[in-house]
């Protein structure tokens, strides 16, 4: 299990890379106590499929260079919505229309119910 310093380095690497790649509307959501899938979720937008692809490629390279080699990438080659799962941080890179449609920020916001009852 990674320590707090490693997790902090991971998140800093992701944010720095997204900024460098000109990702738009970057949001960090704390999932602590909400989900077992990750500690944080980062959501960002690219202007087009090509931009989403470039952001994802740059992110993969930055993570590998920083020593984070364990990751899964889903959503290539379409690049409407690409997910990069590092284990502790899950990164979603969307085209703006797709991001708006799925609205993950609302789904995972601190005001969303922690558990939904099944009827």
Domain that holds residue 37: 4-107
Tell me what pLDDT residue 110 has: 63
- Residue 62: inside a domain, yes or no? yes
Structure tokens at 59: 């992110």
Q: Count the domains in the chain.
A: 1
Average pLDDT, the chain: 89
pTM of the model: 0.87
| 25, 32, 66 from 79: Cα distances, Å | 17, 28, 24
* Distance between CA atoms of residues 101 and 49, nearest Å: 16
- Closest by alpha carbon to 114, among 16, 32, 13? 32
- Residue 38: inside a domain, yes or no? yes
Length of the chain in residues, anyone? 119
Given a contact cutoff of 8 angstroms between Cβ atoms, the answer to whether 96 and 45 are in contact is yes
Tell me what pLDDT residue 44 has: 98
- Residue 114: inside a domain, yes or no? no
* Distance between CA atoms of residues 86 and 83, nearest Å: 10
CATH number at 47 reads 3.30.460.10
- Phi, psi for residue 78 in degrees, rounded to 5: -70, -40
- Residue 92: inside a domain, yes or no? yes
pLDDT digits (tens, 9 = 90+) for 78-99: 999 999 999 999 999 999 999 9
- Residue 115: inside a domain, yes or no? no
End-to-end CA distance of the chain: 36
- Residue 118: inside a domain, yes or no? no
Higher local confidence (pLDDT), 106 or 50: 50
Structure tokens at 61: 């390279």
pLDDT at 57 over 90: yes
């Amino acid at each position: 299990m990674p320590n707090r310093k490693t997790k902090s380095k991971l998140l800093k690497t992701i944010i720095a890379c997204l900024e460098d790649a000109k990702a738009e509307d970057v949001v960090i959501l704390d999932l602590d106590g909400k989900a077992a899938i990750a500690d944080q979720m980062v959501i960002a937008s690219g202007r087009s499929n090509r931009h989403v692809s470039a952001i994802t490629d740059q992110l993969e390279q930055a993570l590998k260079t920083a020593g984070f080699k364990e990751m899964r990438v889903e959503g290539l080659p379409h690049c409407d919505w690409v997910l990069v799962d590092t284990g502790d941080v899950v990164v979603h890179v969307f085209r703006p229309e797709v991001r708006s449609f799925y609205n993950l920020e609302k789904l995972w916001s601190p005001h969303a119910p922690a558990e939904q009852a099944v009827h």
